[in-house]
Amino acid sequence: MLIDNHNRKINYLRLAVTDRCNLRCNYCMPAEGINFAKNDKLLTMEELKTLSEILVGQGIDKIRITGGEPFVRKDLMELLRHLAKLDGLKDISVTTNATLIGPYIDELKSMGIKNINVSLDAIHRETFERITRRNQYDTVHNNLIRLISEGFNVRINFIALDGQNTQDILPILELAKHYPVSVRFLEEMPFNGGSKTFQKIAWDYKRILDHIKSEHPDYYKLESPKTSTSINYKIPGHLGTFGVIPSFSRTFCGTCNRLRVSATGDVITCLYGKPSANLRNIMRGADSKNKVKEEVLKAVGSRAKTGFEAQEKYANVFSNSMTSIGG
């Protein structure tokens, strides 16, 4: 079992399989793109399998596969098949932009992988294409409806971007009216690939809730798991739910149960801090399994208590792209 230095049980791994993405969302990376990692710097398929086994052996019982866009990686299903057979792993989920998932939906369903998060920051085509810089609206919409229709547990992640998509906040809730999905509104975070400081945001979770209340004054709060990053709500008459994730306000740090490993092997204990270690070279050396365990224990044993504490150590400047640190 992994217990951090603040007595929090760490049982949830976000495992990135690639830093590449087929979209170019303007909040995730700069317009000119980023320098993606070369293939020899990425964890290989066998290394991803082995690392998953090690961490499940240490007490991880939930793994979320992320990217970049995970389905950009051609051998992704090989990893998912392996994970589906791991004893002790209770939950496998995937975060995707839903552009490439279509051919794999049937197999995902047959393996029992039903928890899919879809990153979707617009419900209107024009807004979608402006943010993503790509013409993929129909593909995403069709795959989203198919996932819902096939019985997947679909959560839509919508980042509230001032001056870009807040006009879509109320319209996207129509999905939760007609379908049993959860629409979650995230605060913007300072990871767009450019070096800058972030002091405040225009659309924090309180403003998002006030905006929704203007149209739906009778929504009510739901019970959420202790470790949930989302504060969840229900609008009477809606099949689905909605939530807010205070990713910049960081109200959920006290119950954080997460560990991240980037596609290049960086161990990240908080998005607002620097990587604690890199496992790639360790896994390519002698006695790798025991050394990986030691590094993970060391990272978990020296976590920042909150994202604000981690940010102070990071000198309040963010130069990473979201696609390079696990989505």
Say if residue 196's pLDDT is above 60: no
User: Is residue 214 packed enough to be buried (19+ CB in 10 Å), middle (13-18) or exposed (0-12)?
Assistant: exposed
Q: In terms of DSSP H, where are the helices of 58-182?
A: 76-84, 105-111, 125-132, 137-149, 169-178
Structure tokens at 32: 């000119």
Beta bridge partners of 13: 63, 259
Question: Pick the residue with more confidence: 100 or 40?
Answer: 100
Band (30; pLDDT cuts 50, 70, 90): confident
Name all domains of the chain by residue range, CATH numbers in brackets. Answer: 12-313 (3.20.20.70)
- How do residues 116-136 score in pLDDT, each as one tens digit? 999 999 999 999 999 999 999
**What gap in Å lies between CA 208 and CA 199, rounded to an integer?**
18
**What gap in Å lies between CA 302 and CA 5, rounded to an integer?**
6
Check residue 323 and give its pLDDT: 57
Sign of the torsion angle spanned by Cα atoms 279, 254, 88, 76: negative
240 and 292 Cβ atoms separated by less than 8 Å: no
Cα–Cα distances (Å) from 259 to 60, 219, 226, 275, in that order, read 9, 33, 17, 11
Closest C-alpha to 136, from 96, 173, 107, 166:
96
**What gap in Å lies between CA 321 and CA 327, rounded to an integer?**
9
DSSP H or E stretch at residue 317: none
Check residue 311 and give its pLDDT: 75
**What gap in Å lies between CA 203 and CA 206, rounded to an integer?**
8
Check residue 194 and give its pLDDT: 46
In the predicted model, what is the mean pLDDT of residues 294-322? 74
Q: Which letter does DSSP use for residue 256 in this model?
A: -
Question: At residue 56, what is the residue type?
Answer: V
Closest C-alpha to 141, from 118, 157, 158:
118
